[in-house]
Amino acid sequence: MRIDVLTLFPEIFHSYLGQSVLKKAIERGLVEIHLHNIRDWSHDKKHHKVDDRPFGGGPGMVLMAPPVVECVEAVQAMANEPGHLVMLTPQGRKLNQAVVEELAQHPRLLLLCGRYEGFDERIRLILKPDEISIGDYVLNGGEVAAMVVIDAVIRLVPGVLGDEESSRQDSFSGPDRLLDHAQYTRPRCYRGYEVPAVLLSGNHRAIERWRLMDRRRRTEERRRDLLEGSTTLRLGESTRDEKVSKNSLGKCGDAGTCPESSATESRKESEKGCQA
């Protein structure tokens, strides 16, 4: 996948692009990222001006149409296909995993980052970009939002994650779009909290059942909005019907299996009792 970023601040991306997952993806030729400075298309050869005061008055500055439109057109012509143009703006449709999946289908994306009070309206009218927002709050510019889009999209490019399964099992992924289940690693017991016994059972079917119940329960508790329209879980269908014991999720009261619940236990004994 090729991603072109059009911005007034290409430097903002440098340290992000050197980060491990992305760096490896770029080195392995799975992802190409090209940065372009919109200022290079300024008509003002002396001060490289790209913004001006809004007609009608008001605070701040507005990105001018000519440098932005001409930058986009020039960048589109830099490869065999023009690519899918995304404008990062708080007025766009809100990014979610379904939108990320849609964007990841394109072999080439152009991410147009704005600054100041916004874009001259004619930029939208002429270029008809896919306008994307990352949430209902205002950022100082589209750069951080563009990094969010890149980060979410490249996870879906085949080969970028070591294990293909890990992006499919993420929160919001798969046909049900539930939150992800709880994860545990060693030690088995920590400060009185024990790993649910089923995860240590080796019974893979039971583990899968527990994880699906946990995903449903967490989603119901935290994000009921995600369940609306879901085909796999009817609203009101309590996940508590399924045997997810309180004990397996909270403090373990059993001093016999969880030595950490007893402050007087020696470290050696607690290691023995909590061996993974």
List residues binding ligand 6GU (CB under 6 A): 88-90, 133-135, 137-139, 141-142, 145
Closest CA to 214 of 245, 174, 188, 236: 245
In angstroms, what is the minimal distance from the CB of 18 to ligand 6GU?
Answer: 23
CB 113 within 8 A of CB 139: no
Query: Tokens 């008809």 label which residue?
Result: 128
Q: Which helix (H) or strand (E) holds 75?
A: helix 65-76
**How many other C-beta atoms lie within 10 A of the C-beta of residue 167?**
18
Q: Which of 131, 151, 170, 271 is catalytic?
A: 170
**How many other C-beta atoms lie within 10 A of the C-beta of residue 141?**
16
Known catalytic residue at 225: no
Q: Which residue, 136 or 228, has its beta carbon nearer to ligand 6GU? A: 136
In angstroms, what is the minimal distance from the CB of 131 to ligand 6GU?
Answer: 8
Known catalytic residue at 155: yes
SS3 124: helix
**How many other C-beta atoms lie within 10 A of the C-beta of residue 131?**
17
Q: Which residue, 113 or 178, has its beta carbon nearer to ligand 6GU? A: 113
Q: Which of 90, 129, 196, 259 is catalytic?
A: 90
In angstroms, what is the minimal distance from the CB of 85 to ligand 6GU?
Answer: 14
Q: Which residue, 113 or 252, has its beta carbon nearer to ligand 6GU? A: 113
Known catalytic residue at 117: yes
Residues with a catalytic annotation lie at: 90, 117, 155, 170
